[in-house]
Each structure stands twice: as structure tokens, then as C-alpha cells.
Amino acid sequence: MQRNFIKKCKVCGTKEHVLFHYGVCSCRACGSFFRRYLDHENQWKYNLCKCSEKNFDEESQQDLAKCKKCRLGLKKRKASS
């Protein structure tokens, strides 16, 4: 039996091109953003962001994609070369 469910990016909330990237269901855009971060990690400073702890509705969920700190909440160890 195949289960049909709509996957949603946990970072930005989009429902397009969502796969399991870097330890979380994320879209290709957020996955690519994280990959670029890993490639240039020594040039960036990263601290956890407080906005991801809030409860967002559908409209404000899109604002998370604009927050670089939220997009960096993916797991480094799941990144493949």
C-alpha cells in the first residue's frame, strides 16, 4: 500500500521539490543554501535563530526562508560531498 501525503519543507514551508535533505524534509532551494554554507562555512558566523521557535501560520512561514539562520538549522553530518 502506498501512502500519499503532502511533504512540506520544514524550513520555508513550500510544498514543491521536497525531499529528505540533511536530516530534515526540505526543498531543493533550502538544501542548496545549506550546501553553499558548508562549502564556505569558515566565512560565516552561525548562531541559532529564535524565530524558528515561534508558531508560524502559512503566510509567515515563508519568512523563514528569508532568515539565513533558520535555513542553517539543517544537520551538517547528513551532507554528502
pLDDT in tens, 11-47: 888 888 898 877 888 898 888 888 887 787 666 665 5
Residue 78 pLDDT class (50, 70, 90 cuts): very low
| pLDDT value of residue 81 | 42
| pLDDT value of residue 25 | 87
Domain parsing of the chain, residue ranges:
18-74
| pLDDT value of residue 61 | 53
Mind listing the pLDDT tens digit for each residue in 51-69?
A: 655 555 444 555 555 666 6
The DSSP line for 7-71 is ---TTT---SSEEEETTEEEEHHHHHHHHHHHHTGGG------SGGGS---HHHHHHHHH-HHHH
